[in-house]
Amino acid sequence: MKAARLTQYGPPSGISVVDLDDPEPGPGEVLVRVHAAAVNYPDVLIAANQYQVSAPLPFTPGSEFAGVIAALGPGVSGPPVGSPVAGAVLSGAFAEKVVLPATALRPVPEGLDMVHAAAFHVTYATAYHALVTIGRGEPGEWVTVLGAAGGVGTATVDVATRLGMRVLAAASGHDRLAIARKLGAEAGIDYAGEDLKSRMRELTGGEGAHLVIDPVGGSYSEAALRGLRRGGRFVTVGYADGEIPRIPLNLVLLKDAVVRGFEIRMLRQYARDAVAEGDRVLAELVREGMRPFVSRVHPLADIATVLTDVAERRVTGKVVLSMTDE
Ligand X SMILES: NC(=O)c1ccc[n+]([C@@H]2O[C@H](COP(=O)([O-])OP(=O)(O)OC[C@H]3O[C@@H](n4cnc5c(N)ncnc54)[C@H](OP(=O)(O)O)[C@@H]3O)[C@@H](O)[C@H]2O)c1
Closest to ligand X by CB, 142 or 220? 220
12 binds ligand X (CB under 6 A): no
CA distance linking residue 182 with residue 317, whole number of Å: 12
Closest CA to 257 of 265, 268, 249: 249
CA distance linking residue 152 with residue 309, whole number of Å: 16
Closest to ligand X by CB, 65 or 262? 262
* C-beta of residue 28 within 8 angstroms of C-beta of residue 103: yes
Q: Smallest distance from the beta carbon of 189 to ligand X, in angstroms?
A: 11
132 binds ligand X (CB under 6 A): no
Binding test (CB under 6 A) with ligand X, winner from 240, 259, 275, 321: 240
63 binds ligand X (CB under 6 A): no
151 binds ligand X (CB under 6 A): yes
153 binds ligand X (CB under 6 A): yes
* C-beta of residue 119 within 8 angstroms of C-beta of residue 94: no
Closest to ligand X by CB, 206 or 270? 270
Alpha helices in the chain (DSSP H): 41-47, 114-118, 121-128, 151-162, 174-182, 196-203, 219-226, 250-255, 264-270, 272-287, 303-311
Q: Smallest distance from the beta carbon of 10 to ligand X, in angstroms?
A: 17
160 binds ligand X (CB under 6 A): no
Q: Smallest distance from the beta carbon of 1 to ligand X, in angstroms?
A: 26
CA distance linking residue 213 with residue 238, whole number of Å: 10
Instruction: Quote the DSSP letter at residue 48.
Output: T
61 binds ligand X (CB under 6 A): no
Please work out the total of residues on this chain that contact ligand X, with binding judged by CB under 6 A: 27
* C-beta of residue 65 within 8 angstroms of C-beta of residue 96: no
179 binds ligand X (CB under 6 A): no
Closest CA to 140 of 209, 202, 92: 209
* Residue 86, strand partner residues: 66, 106
Q: Smallest distance from the beta carbon of 105 to ligand X, in angstroms?
A: 19
313 binds ligand X (CB under 6 A): yes
- 3-class SS of residue 250: helix
Alpha helices in 71-218 (DSSP H): 114-118, 121-128, 151-162, 174-182, 196-203
Element (H, E) at 211: strand 209-214
Q: Smallest distance from the beta carbon of 252 to ligand X, in angstroms?
A: 20
Hey, which residues between 97 and 126 contact ligand X (CB under 6 A)? 122, 126
Stretch that binds ligand X, among 20-28, 60-68, 168-176, 248-256 (CB under 6 A): 168-176
* C-beta of residue 222 within 8 angstroms of C-beta of residue 249: no
91 binds ligand X (CB under 6 A): no
Closest to ligand X by CB, 182 or 230? 182
Residue type for position 117:
A
Binding test (CB under 6 A) with ligand X, winner from 40, 63, 91, 144: 40
Closest to ligand X by CB, 264 or 286? 264
Binding test (CB under 6 A) with ligand X, winner from 10, 263, 272, 280: 263
Closest CA to 144 of 254, 218, 233, 205: 233
245 binds ligand X (CB under 6 A): no
Q: Smallest distance from the beta carbon of 96 to ligand X, in angstroms?
A: 23
Binding test (CB under 6 A) with ligand X, winner from 87, 188, 232, 238: 238
Instruction: Quote the DSSP letter at residue 141.
Output: -
Binding site for ligand X (CB under 6 A): 40-42, 122, 126, 147, 149-153, 171-172, 176, 215-216, 237-242, 262-264, 310, 313
